[in-house]
Chains A and B, each alone.
Chain A
C-alpha cells in the first residue's frame, strides 16, 4: 500500500499528474482544446461535463488510449508519452470504465488475470484477488462466471482489478450510474479510504449532489474546453449544472391536472421460471397501470427486473395469456410484434445490442421496432423514406446530436443514442410504454429531456412503467413506486409516501411478506 502523503494535501510543488495545453483534434473537430488540469495525491477530483464535452477524450489521453495532438502530460513532474494503457498502468494509473471490458464466459478470477501482467501464478493471483476484495469491502467470488453477475458486481471486478495493481491514481467513469444508494454509499467508503491511503482519484459523474459530497476539487469541461476548476462543496448543484451546460437546465415538470383513466397495462399473478440456471424466478407479480400514470419500479440490479421486462415485452412468453393484459387484451402469449400492434412500446436497459443493432444505421434501427406498426413495410418491402423520416423526427424532437443524417447506432454517444431510442418509441404514440433504466449513464441535459418526454407521454394519456435504480429519477417522475426484490414486487407506494429509507428497506428485502403482496395486488 502507499504511504499517505506526510504533509497532507498539495504537498511539494508538483502535482501527481498535470496536463498542460492538452489538445486532441479529430479532423477539424477539437475534442479537447488546451486543457490544463492538476491532480494531487489524496484528492478526489471530479470531472464534470455534458456528453461530448471532452471528458472521455481527456481521460483516454491520460490513460494512454489515445495520443494528444498537442500539449503534454506530466507525471510526478516528468513529461510522459504513453504508448498505451499498459504503460499507464506501469506508472500507477488505473481506470474503471463505464462500459465494462469483461468476458462473460470467463470467471471473475480469469477476467482479472487477463487484465494483469500475468507474472504471478493463477493461484496466487486468485488469493490476492480475494484478499484485496475483502480488504476494501468489495466481496467477490473469484470462481463465478461473469455472465451470472449483476451490473454492480461486474463493476466491483473492474475496481478490484484496478486496485490489484496498486495504483497511485485511479480514474472512475460514472461509477454510481448503476448502483443503489446503499451500494453507492459503500463505494464512497472505499473511495474515501483510497484517498486516505494517499491515492488520487479522478471521478467522472453527472450526479452533482454526489460530487458535492465526495469530491475535493471539480474541473468542469464544456465543448472541449475547461470552464472552471472549483471546490464543489462551495458550489450549489444548480451552479455546477450551469457551468456544465452553459445556461439553465430545463426543469422537468409534470403537467398539472394529469388524470388517470382506464387500466392500460395489467399484470395479474405473473410467475415465470428462470430462463437459465442463474436467472431470477418471477413470483406472483401483479399490478395495474392506468393511462396517465407513471409507475416506478425500484430495486437493486439483478432482482428480476430484466426478467420482468422480458415477460412484459414478449421476449419471453407466458403460458397463461391472462397474466399480461395490454389495452384490455390478454397478451401473455403474444409475441413482441403483436404486443407492439396492441399499442405497447418498449425501451430496454442495454442501448447497444438490445435496443439497437450497433453496426446498423439509425434508419435500420428505426425499422427494428417500427416494422410492427408504423407503415414502414408494405407487402414485405421496406419504405426507406419512411424509416429515414422516423430518424429525422426523433432527431428533431429529441435533439439527437450526430455527425451525419443516418450514422451507425454505435457511433452515437450514450445520451444521444438513448434520446434516439426513447424518441423512436414515443413518436409511435404508444398507449403503454415499458422503459428500463431510461437515463443509465446519460448526461444531465439528455436525462432531463428523456424524463420530460416520459411525463409528457403520460400527460397525453399513456401508461408508463419505468424501471430504474436511480431513486431521484423515480421520485421526480413516478406517481407510485414499487420495489423488486428476489423476483417479487412489493405493493406500490404513493411517490409522496416513498421515502429513501422505506424504499431502501424494501430493496434489502426487509418487509416483504408474500401475503401482503398478494393482498395489495388483489386490492
Chain B
C-alpha cells in the first residue's frame, strides 16, 4: 500500500476553506506533544491558550486590540503576495510609520495644536511606510535585487533608528532616563471606542481596510490585475498588465498600511514611542496573510485567531509558567502546516494498492 499525491483537475474550493482548519488542528496536536515534553498538562495549557481568553470581556477586547495591527498589515501583505511581490519587511514599515507619525506628536507636544494633529500623524505615517517599502520595490524593479532580502534587512535599520531617537533626541526629559518619549497629548491619541478597555478607533479602520480590500480584489480591474500577475505572469503581460508597476503599487500600499498600523499602535494602546512597540506584528502578519488564504475576510478571521494566541500565551505564562517564546513556536509551526496543507488544494492523497502479480523488468 502506498500513499501518493495526485493532481486535481480543478482547484478544490472546499479544501481551500478547510485547509487552514486542518493546519490549525495539526498545530494543536503538535503543541499537545510539545506541552507534554515541557512537563505541562496539555489540556490545561490548551485551555489557557484558546479557551480562557474567550471567557472574559477584558481578554476579548484585548484580542481585538492585538488583531488590529495584524489584520491591517496582513491585508497589505496579501496584495503583495498575490502579485508575486515578496514583502517580508512589514515590521520595518510598521516601525517607520510609528516614528514618522510620532514626530508630529513630539513636535506639537505641549502646544495648543488642534484636532488636525491625529489625522496628520496618520497621513505622515502611511506616507513614510509607503516610501520605506518603495526602497526594496524600486531596487527590485530597477536592479533586480531580491525584495525578500532587502525588505527584511530594512527592518533592522528601522528598529535601530527608532532606538536612537528614543534614547537620544526624542527622550522624555522627565522620563528618568527611560528610553521613551513623553506621553502623547490627547489630540495626538487615538480615541477609545469603549470606556474601560483599550479598544480604539483603529479597529474600525482595520475593518474598513478589510472591506476595501475585498472590493478591490473581488470587483475591480486593479484587483484582477494583481491576481493575474501573480497567478500567470506571461498571461498577465498578454493581458496588458505591467508586473513592475504592480510591484511598486502593492509594496507602496502594504507599506502604507503597515505604517498606519504602526502609528495607531503607538498613538493608541501604547500612548508614547518606545523601543519594543511591536511584538513582531510585521512578521506574524505574514502568517495571518497565509492562514487567511490571502483573502480579506479570511485574514480578518486569521488575525483574530493569532491575536488569541498572543493573549493566550500571556495567560499561559502567568497561569502555568509556560515561556512566552512558546507562542512564537506555535506561530512558526502554524505557518509550516498552513503552507503544507495548501498543497491539498491542487493535489489529493490517494492510496494505491500495487498488485503482487506485477511482473518487473523484462520478462
Q: Which residues of B contact A80 (CB under 8 A)?
A: 355, 357-359
Please give, as numbers and ranges, the residues of chain A lying within 8 Å of B232 by CB-CB distance: 353, 356-360
Which residues of the partner chain B approach A380 to less than 8 Å between Cβ atoms? 220-222
Which B residues are CB-close (under 8 A) to A410?
A: 9-10
The answer to whether residues A371 and B219 also contact, given A78-B359, A357-B232 and a CB cut-off of 8 A, is no
Return the contact of A357 from the options B219, B231, B354 (Cβ within 8 A): B231
Q: Which of B35-43, B195-203, B233-241, B255-263 touches A?
A: B233-241
Q: Which of A391-447 contact B (CB under 8 A)?
A: 407-408, 410-411
Q: Which residues of B contact A348 (CB under 8 A)?
A: 238
What interface size band does chain A fall in?
35 or more
Q: Most B CB atoms within 10 A — which of A314, A357, A410?
A: A357
| B240 close to A336 (CB less than 8 A) | yes
A368–B234 alpha-carbon span in the complex (Å)? 12
Evaluate contact between A336 and B238: CB separation under 8 angstroms. Answer: yes
Interchain CB contact under 8 A, B238 and A371: no
Contact B224 A367 (CB under 8 A): yes
Residues 335-371 of A, flagged 1 when their CB comes within 8 A of B and 0 if not, give: 1110010000010101001111111100010011101
Query: Which of A79, A87, A335 is close to B360, meaning CB atoms less than 8 Å apart?
Result: A87
Cross-chain contact of A356 among B11, B222, B235, B357 (Cβ < 8 A): B235
Whether the Cβ atoms of A360 and B231 lie closer than 8 Å is yes
A340 engages B240 (CB within 8 Å): yes
Size category of the binding interface on chain B: 20 to 34
In chain A, positions 24-58 with a C-beta closer than 8 Å to chain B are none
Tell me the chain A residues, 63-112 only, with Cβ under 8 Å from chain B. Answer: 67, 75-76, 78-84, 87, 90-92
**Is there a chain A Cβ closer than 8 Å to B4's Cβ?**
yes
**Do A81 and B357 touch across chains, with their CB atoms under 8 A apart?**
yes
Q: Does A126 contact B (CB under 8 A)?
A: no
B10 touches A82 (CB 8 A): no
Q: Which residues of B contact A92 (CB under 8 A)?
A: 362
Complex CA distance for A356 and B4, rounded to whole angstroms: 29
Q: Which residues of A contact B236 (CB under 8 A)?
A: 357, 368
- CB of B37, distance to nearest CB on chain A (Å): 38
Chain B, 299-325, CB within 8 A of any chain A CB: none
Q: Which residues from 205 to 232 on chain B have a C-beta closer than 8 Å to any C-beta of chain A?
A: 219-222, 224, 227-228, 231-232
The answer on a CB contact under 8 Å between A78 and B357 is yes
Taking the nearest CB of chain B, how far is it from the CB of A192, in angstroms? 23
What 8 pairs between A and B have smallest CB-CB spacing? A81-B355, A337-B240, A357-B232, A83-B354, A368-B239, A357-B235, A336-B240, A411-B10
16 cross-chain CB contacts under 8 A = A83-B358, A336-B238, A336-B240, A337-B240, A357-B228, A357-B232, A364-B228, A368-B228, A368-B236, A368-B239, A369-B239, A372-B240, A380-B221, A380-B222, A410-B9, A411-B10
Not counting A79-B357, A91-B363, a sample of 16 additional A-B residue pairs whose C-beta atoms are within 8 angstroms of each other reads A78-B363, A80-B355, A81-B355, A81-B357, A87-B358, A336-B238, A355-B235, A356-B235, A357-B232, A359-B231, A364-B224, A367-B224, A371-B240, A377-B221, A380-B221, A382-B220
